[in-house]
Structure 1
Amino acid sequence: MATFSPGDLLILPRNSHISVISALVLSGALPKYIIPHILNDCGHCCWSLHLRSVLKQIPGISVLDNSSFPASPAVDPLRLTVGFWNLGLSGSEADKILYKDYDVICEIFRNRSITYALNLGTCREHVHRLVLGIKRLAATYGSIPKAEKKVVNVHAPFDDVIMSMIPRDAFFASKRKVAIRESIGEVAGEIICPYPPGVPILIPGEVVTENIVDYLLLVTSKGAEVNGASDSSLSSIVVCGKLAAGKEHP
């Protein structure tokens, strides 16, 4: 990002990590969002499919997949999110055991789950250690399975992104705080990023929509933590002002 100048065009997925989005904002580049196509017959995707299939068969283990988000355009097949709540374990507790006993390193853990990243370096040995470790956790901490709560789905927040200002311009613009419901139709002045998954739902310069507000209120009600927002409770957010009537994004 250090090579970009304000106004340069940058092609990237909208669901990029917060570190990428933060660099975009500071560089002044103008984003053009794409939905990348991932070849499901590549080696690391095959490992991902294999892992999902095996882990779903282990009692007490939950695996996040496309069925959890029917309105989402795609779920990254190279990110594997495993839930341990039916074992009575938090993501932190499970991660400590898997790291110490099986040398398995996660991408991120949350209150009830762990996310693993698969890549070109993923091999049979890595997959074997992960499966062996999770099977041992299930055997050691297994309890009577509880009914798994389905994820309540809202309209995918990236389907209708409206860019009103270049992110850098919005970041340095004059701002004010408004109640979150009153922010609908206004231009975001801050990055709002719930964890999991660590992907900003709003970045400076984007128009706040009802779908985005609904999504943010839903995930925070489910225990997600919010980074970037000046008000972590999301009772209010920082905006730049209303989108002018009839104005189109650049």
Structure 2
Amino acid sequence: YYRVKDSKWEKSPPLLVNALKAAAEQQNVATFHFPGHNRGQAAPLSLIQLIGDRPFLHDLPELDNLSTPKGPILEAQNQAAEVFGASKTWFLVGGTTCGIHAAIMGTCSPGDALILPRNSHISATSAMVLSGLVPKYIFPEYDFDWDLPTTVSPSQVKKAIEELESEGLNPGAVFITSPTYHGICSNLKEISTLCHIHSIPLIVDEAHGAHFGFHPSLPLPALQQGADVVVQSTHKVLLSLTQSSMLHVSRNSIIDQDKISKCLQTLQTTSPNSLLLASLDATTAQLKENPSTIFDNAINLAIEAKHTIKQIPGFVVLDYPFIDPLRVTIGVFNLGFTGYEIDDFLYKEQRVLSELPGSRFITFPFAPGTCKEHVDRLILGFKSFILSPTFIQRHHQRSHTLSHSIINRVNLEQWSDVKIKLTPRDAFFAKKRYVGIKDVVGKICGESICPFPPGVPIITPGEVISERVVQILQQYKADSTTLVGASDPLLSSMLICDV
């Protein structure tokens, strides 16, 4: 590890940042270590021209060991656990995907059932492949006006537990995504109470809620609602670099922390990037110093944007009893245009880049870095749209072109008829062959295919392909949505389990 004596770096937050700074500022050292650019001496010129040479100066070998930390990484993780209210916190450099893999592997055993909503992130599917688990899907309540899944109810979880007991299967864990990509939160307090009555650990994918609990206007975080393991994308609404996340275990958790550590040692790289780790530490330090003021501006801007946009004829603002106030989702279904079409208009008109356009909505995350000038352009873009020739022309043709384009779209609620023939692991390792898209209905799927974002699979390995799934895939293709995981990017065929 890089040679920095404890006395050479400031032992106050941000701990890892200070250690990295001390290491980079060492004078008169002859360096024979990785990475090969050697503090930027041989960094690619094109990259220096893009980001400058300072990042290379701090791209150093490990100051500590991420898998078994004893120095600044351990101290930074302990500091994060205190700030986020956890018993133990691990820094992740493989994103929340890595954390979900470790959380599921660390709580379940091969052959266990995993109770989870079918709209879980694709990382939950791959975790079941790695762990050899049997999925027990919950189908979340669906809002057909908005064409999106919403919450998982405690009664749905209870029903799943009872069904597994009657089938003689052991529920290894319950896995819930809260908030959703659109900021909608499930009742985790009641779900956690229910899980613990049955001695079942609750894992929460809180990728989009790492900021929860740091402002009075924000929802309670999963840890405060009784979750055992929580995985957060610190790089989303919070302030760390992309790909950096955290995994937390609650103070009253019923899981084995050592098993989580062993899983992370298996899954994480042995050469973590120091800048990613330092960004997690720096975020923790800033949250500890002034948590609520970080979000004042973003919350006020989000309130202003929602209030103004819902006054514009035709637009609707998504609102639920428990929703992240920093997630602004605008419904466009009253206008006869898709979210994709209006998203294109906003970019061309005001250079506005959204996070997630859909068939009936567009989602905009607000964050500490959101500025008023950008919000003003967003609002102006929506106002400009209803005055544009594009809108007016189609509005006058509503009885023909409009009704045909909207009514004939496929509703994207695809999980009402899911049939599982193989476990995800068995399907993943099964022999496979390509079958033309016209002949795949009734076959067992051998791959995960999902629109990205949000990264929720339309079909997963082991599920029977229905006619509806094919229609939905073709609809996404028609909308030019990025589909991840399809072995045939043109969707003229699919990979089928040859069993």
TM-score, normalising length: structure 2: 0.36
User: Comparing both chains, which one has the higher relative contact order based on Cα–Cα distances under 8 Å and sequence gaps of 6 or more?
Assistant: 1
Deviation track 1:210-234 (CA, whole Å, cap 9, x = no partner) reads: 1111111122112122110100111
Deviation track 1:78-121 (CA, whole Å, cap 9, x = no partner) reads: 664454447452599412xxxxxxxxxx65579xx853358xxx
Aligned partners of 2:474 and 2:421: how far apart in 1? 23
Residue aligning to 2:495? 238
Aligned Cα root-mean-square deviation (Å): 4.3
Aligned partners of 1:91 and 1:225: how far apart in 2? 23
Residue 116 (structure 2) pairs with residue 5 (structure 1): no
Q: Tell me if the contact between 1:51 and 1:127 (Cα under 8 Å) persists in the aligned partners.
A: no
2:418 counterpart SS class: coil
Aligned partner (choices 427, 445, 451) of residue 170 of structure 1: 427
Aligned partners of 1:176 and 1:136: how far apart in 2? 51
Residue aligning to 2:347? 89
Alignment of 1:101-112 (within 5 A): 107-108=355-356
Whichever structure has more strand as a proportion of its residues is: 1
Aligned partners of 1:225 and 1:31: how far apart in 2? 26
Residue aligning to 1:72? none
Alignment of 1:85-164 (within 5 A): 85=343, 87=345, 89=347, 93-95=351-353, 107-108=355-356, 115-117=363-365, 132-138=376-382, 144=388, 146=391, 147=394, 150=406, 152-154=409-411, 156-164=413-421
Aligned partners of 1:184 and 1:128: how far apart in 2? 50
2:477 counterpart SS class: helix
Number of equivalenced pairs: 216
Q: Tell me if the contact between 1:191 and 1:203 (Cα under 8 Å) persists in the aligned partners.
A: yes
Shift of 1:26: 2.7
Q: Tell me if the contact between 1:91 and 1:114 (Cα under 8 Å) persists in the aligned partners.
A: no
Q: Tell me if the contact between 1:13 and 1:33 (Cα under 8 Å) persists in the aligned partners.
A: yes
Q: Tell me if the contact between 2:346 and 2:352 (Cα under 8 Å) persists in the aligned partners.
A: no
Residue aligning to 1:247? none
Counting aligned pairs with the same residue, the percent is 37
Shift of 1:171: 0.3
Aligned partner (choices 160, 185, 192) of residue 449 of structure 2: 192
Amino acid at match of 1:57: Q
Consecutive unaligned residues in structure 1, runs of 5 or more:
67-75, 96-105, 243-250
Amino acid at match of 1:5: S
